[in-house]
């Protein structure tokens, strides 16, 4: 009768450890691309907010341009800046109470 020598190496555990090591290595390969994806997503979110704010500002400026394009609006804006028509006399009143 021959006896099988007792093997001290537990191959089932070695195989499991090797599989776990390979799995961890594969997961480690995904870390940097995931970080890049996350930072790109955050940057895109920030840029979308900037675009939205700039679009709103653009709408406001276009509305102001449309409002200022009429003759009456141009005259009111010029008077607000202190300009007078040719032949008019400008007066400066001091000591008046502030507006309402």
Residue 89 in any domain: the answer is no
Residue 16 in any domain: the answer is yes
Tell me how many domains the chain contains. 1
Residue 24 in any domain: the answer is yes
Residue 76 in any domain: the answer is yes
Query: What pLDDT is recorded for position 85?
Result: 87
The answer for 97, left when phi > 0, alpha when psi is -120 to 50, beta otherwise, is beta
> How many other β-carbons are positioned within 10 Å of the β-carbon of residue 76?
13
Residue 42 in any domain: the answer is yes
Residue 5 in any domain: the answer is no
67-73: long-range contacts (C-beta < 8 A, 24 or more apart)? Answer: none
Q: Which domain holds residue 45?
A: 11-80
pLDDT in tens, 43-64: 999 999 999 999 999 999 999 8
Q: Which tokens sit at 5? A: 């020598």
Q: Which tokens sit at 30? A: 């995904």
pLDDT in tens, 52-97: 999 999 999 999 888 878 888 888 888 888 888 888 888 878 888 8
């Amino acid at each position: 009768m021959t006896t099988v020598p007792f093997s001290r190496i537990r191959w089932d555990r070695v195989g499991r450890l090797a599989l776990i090591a390979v799995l961890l290595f594969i997961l480690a390969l995904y870390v940097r691309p995931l970080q890049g994806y996350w930072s790109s997503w955050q940057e895109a979110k920030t840029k979308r907010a900037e675009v939205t704010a700039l679009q709103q500002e653009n709408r406001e400026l276009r509305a102001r341009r449309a409002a200022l394009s009429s003759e009456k609006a141009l005259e009111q804006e010029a008077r607000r800046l202190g300009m007078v028509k040719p032949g008019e006399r400008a007066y400066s009143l001091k000591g008046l109470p502030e507006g309402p």
